[in-house]
Amino acid sequence: MRISSLLLTAVVLSVPAFGQDGVIRESTGERLQRLTKMELSPFDGANWNLLSSWTNGDALTSEATNGKVVVIMTWAGWNPVASRALPMAKRLHDNYEAEGLILVGVHHGTGWEEGLKAAERAGIKFLLAHDAENKFREALLVDQDPDFYVIDRAGQLRYADIVTESVETAVRVTLGETVDQAAGIRGRLAEDAQRREAEARRTEAIRSQIDLRTLPEVPFMPPSKAAYEATTWPTPPRDDQNRGQQQPQEPPILMLPNTGYHPAPPATAGRAVVVYFWNPNDRDSYSVMGEMDRLQRQMGRDLVVVGALVPIQDENRGWQQQQDTKNDPAVLTTRMTQFRNARQLDHALLLDLAGVSLASMPSRQGYGAAVRFPTPYAVLASSDGLVRFWGNPVSPAFRSALDRVIRDDPGIAARRRAEAEYIRTKGG
């Protein structure tokens, strides 16, 4: 059923911009619906009056926040999880204060003095306030610490209860806007909805004439390196193995062997690539296989999914490199074929007992070629072969990153233009 532009616009304005800018909401269910209704509406300045004992500056008012971006972090000094967010908040304040960022830490009603001591130990210089009666929390539907909320330059509650990993992305998005641009967010979302509907109509018209899945590989001019460098890619997960590193690491190169594919090596030119790691002796690792195949079927025009069968880790002997029952190539080749046939998979599987693909993992723990990682686990690469995101491939953050790569990747756009011209000439 086709949704009219008016209805689609209403739908877009009633839900958070999930995946549109890489900002992920933490809440779910009914609470998410309630918070969504609060988003894109003016933040009630009277809420600041619910806070007391302002520290490191004067109490906030609507006038003081005019034209600024405000990040609200709820926390409690007695809560270890909440306190661990302090260094990240401090870094945001230090890096973006000059660009118009105000960061305020709203402490839980209990343990205020303890919280001040924890903040002092962490070298916190941003605003702190005491939610003595937890009324501020009630107004914002806070359910646990830390919760993060972002107010844009137009004074609107732009993002309500977002995951910690998305806070810096939200800050960059809102700081990059003028007051007028922030005020016009509803109109921009409506325009985006109309564009998506128009694209859906064009796609449906094309599908009625040609099956995109059987479209031949159309030659195209790959974008320049500068085009990729100018693209805003998803903010990668924090690498806990490199916390002391000041500068962000260069994205690693996606490493894949030339042989070992079943049924055949996939065509990756002008496409994003998701590689997930699995082994038939590790149930958790292949629990996502069905979901990965759905991704391939839904996004096959722009995405290549590869299931890399890698060696398993034996808890007693470490990584098994010898030719035993679990890692015998002949046995695993047979099992890989059985997996693909039994599940009628559309995506390619890869036998990679040498662990070549594991070199694509941005954070590697262990010794030598031995790599430990949680399962399920995958890496996402853009069409230039650089890894842009990693982690659990069925998590909201991973899916949002994938949507963003496919939307913004210049190589995908170049290939699509070539395909559109091919379709036009064939249909002409």
Listed by start position, the domains of the chain span 5-183, 225-239+248-427
Q: What is the mean pLDDT of residues 125-140?
A: 95
Prior bond of 146 cis (ω within 30°): yes
Q: Is the pLDDT of residue 14 over 80?
A: no
How far are the Cα atoms of 17, 114, 186, 196 from residue 9, in angstroms, in the given order? 12, 47, 9, 10
Q: At what angle do helices 396-408 and 289-299 cross, to 10 degrees?
A: 20
The CATH fold assigned to 5-183 is Glutaredoxin (3.40.30)
Answer for the pair 143, 27: CB distance below 8 angstroms, yes or no: yes
pLDDT, one tens digit per residue, over 271-284 is 999 999 998 888 88
Whether 5-183 shares its CATH topology with 225-239+248-427 is answered: yes
Answer for the pair 301, 212: CB distance below 8 angstroms, yes or no: yes
**Ranges 29-33, 136-140, 369-373, 420-424, most confident:** 136-140
pLDDT in the model for residue 1: 29
Q: Is the pLDDT of residue 210 over 80?
A: no
pLDDT category of residue 140 using cuts at 50, 70 and 90: very high
The mean-pLDDT minimum among 55-69, 181-195, 355-369, 375-389 falls in: 355-369
Instruction: Give the rounded percent of residues in the chain with a pLDDT score beyond 90.
Output: 46
Q: Is the pLDDT of residue 314 over 60?
A: no
Q: Which residue has the higher pLDDT, 95 or 211?
A: 95
In 3D space, the residue among 415, 381, 1, 3 whose CA is nearest the CA of residue 212 turns out to be: 415
Q: What is the mean pLDDT of residues 61-80?
A: 93
pLDDT in the model for residue 359: 84
CATH of domain 225-239+248-427: 3.40.30.10
Q: What is the mean pLDDT of residues 109-126?
A: 92
In 3D space, the residue among 223, 167, 231, 229 whose CA is nearest the CA of residue 405 turns out to be: 231
pLDDT, one tens digit per residue, over 183-204 is 888 888 777 777 767 766 665 5
Q: What is the mean pLDDT of residues 306-315?
A: 77
Note the helical H segments in 300-362.
Answer: 329-343
pLDDT category of residue 232 using cuts at 50, 70 and 90: confident
